[in-house]
Structure 1
Amino acid sequence: MLTRDTLTRVAQYAGVALLLAVVVPSVVFAVPQVAGADNSYVVLSSSMSPTIHAGDAVVVDGVSPDDIDERDIITFHATGATADTGLVTHRVIDVVERDDGRYFRTQGDANEEPDGELVPAENVVGVVRFHIPYFGYLVQFVNTGNGMLLFVVVPAVLLVLNELWNFRTALTDDEDPDTPAEND
């Protein structure tokens, strides 16, 4: 039979595990430099499935275009017909050297055809070093009113209430005549 102490300990370990499961990816997403990268982004489409899914977060390291090879997954500023989408994360399927510079032919893993335009080297943000599955959904939720309430306001209120409780407890302990005085 499980004792109260055992259940408390299990709950504490579960709480720490849950906290780490949220805090570590949050730190990496907010400050990608801790993982040796430069930027992080939320993936909005499934064009890179099954490798990277919509709702994943990608951590991107800015590198020299000379260090980008076929099979690398890059994030870049879209041009031409896809310019309205802003940033795109696709796989390099060919590196094209021209007199006016280096270009990359890209394609989403889920797409049957390569992207319509070559990506100029100056449009490349960097190479995807790793991705955090589903974490982008959390980032998007936190940026909503309900998410801000749940992840910012509620914890702040709980911290204030906890401090008030500790302050009240300290005051009542000092005033309680039945509490034995400590020997100095």
Structure 2
Amino acid sequence: MTMPIIATMVPTGSLHFMMVSGTSMEPTITASDIVVVNAVDSGGPELGDIISYRHYLEDRDEPVVIIHRIVGFSNDGYRTKGDAYDVADSYVVKPEDIVGVMCLKIPYLGGLPRFASTSKGLIMLVIIPAVIVITSEIYSIFDCRGTLK
């Protein structure tokens, strides 16, 4: 079963860097990619564009950001679909819910923050370097012989 691509967004002006989770856009976008989304210009997105948009899921009070491809238009907005799905989404994306259009994908870079958020990643990327720095500072304070400089 595929999961919808849900993005964690870091806004930087008109560009948004998004770390994604889910498999609905595979193979185009995977959970190890970082996606760069540019704010929509006055012309709006076009058929085939990959867009990010806010959507309320049934089990959440706050909207999530989803990344899917535009496969059609309706009077109310855009029809979208994940590349891994055979059918379009059951809802219409309203223009005001669109965050932006994907302009760049950075492969594999999303794996690093995902790894850093695990306990093993925290130990390897934060705790071990911190212990090395602290130990080095203690040695430099005591001049490695137990005497203060």
Using structure 2 for the length normalisation, give the TM-score: 0.71
Kindly state the Cα deviation for residue 111 of structure 1 after the two structures are TM-superposed: 1.0
2:108 is equivalent to residue 131 of structure 1: no
Q: Which amino acid aligns with 2:68?
A: H
Query: What secondary structure is seen at the aligned counterpart in 2 of 1:157?
Result: helix
Check 1:49–1:123 CA distance in 2 against 1; reply closer, same or farther (3 A cut): same
After superposition, where does 1:39-54 map in structure 2 within 5 Å? 39-54=16-31
Check 1:38–1:119 CA distance in 2 against 1; reply closer, same or farther (3 A cut): same
53-62 or 70-79, larger mean C-alpha shift: 53-62
Q: CA offsets per residue over residues 91-144 of structure 1, 9 Å max, x none?
A: 112233x3xxx6111111111111111101121121122222233232122122
Check 1:160–1:146 CA distance in 2 against 1; reply closer, same or farther (3 A cut): same
Q: Which residue of 2 aligns with 1:38?
A: 15
Check 1:56–1:106 CA distance in 2 against 1; reply closer, same or farther (3 A cut): same
In 1, the alpha carbon distance for the partners of 2:59 and 2:73 equals 20
Q: Which residue of 2 aligns with 1:103?
A: 77
Q: Which residue of 2 aligns with 1:161?
A: 135
Say which one has the larger Rg: 1
After superposition, where does 1:76-91 map in structure 2 within 5 Å? 76-79=53-56, 86-91=64-69
- Please say if residues 65 and 121 of structure 1, whose CA atoms lie closer than 8 Å, have aligned partners that are also in contact: no
In 2, the alpha carbon distance for the partners of 1:40 and 1:107 equals 21
Structure 1, unmatched stretches of 5+, are: 1-28, 176-184
Q: Larger % of helix: which? A: 1
Q: Larger % of strand: which? A: 2
Q: Which amino acid aligns with 1:46?
A: T
2:46 is equivalent to residue 69 of structure 1: yes
Structure 2, unmatched stretches of 5+, are: 1-7
Higher RCO structure (Cα 8 Å, ≥6 apart) = 2
Using structure 1 for the length normalisation, give the TM-score: 0.59
Residue 70 of structure 2: which of 92, 104, 107 is its match? 92
Q: Which amino acid aligns with 1:55?
A: S
Q: Which residue of 2 aligns with 1:181?
A: none
Identity across the alignment (%): 33
Q: CA offsets per residue over residues 42-61 of structure 1, 9 Å max, x none?
A: 22122111111123222222
The root-mean-square deviation of aligned C-alpha atoms, in Å, is 3.3
- Please say if residues 57 and 64 of structure 2, whose CA atoms lie closer than 8 Å, have aligned partners that are also in contact: no
Q: Which amino acid aligns with 2:66?
A: V
Query: What secondary structure is seen at the aligned counterpart in 1 of 2:114?
Result: helix
158-167 or 133-142, larger mean C-alpha shift: 158-167
- Please say if residues 61 and 128 of structure 1, whose CA atoms lie closer than 8 Å, have aligned partners that are also in contact: yes
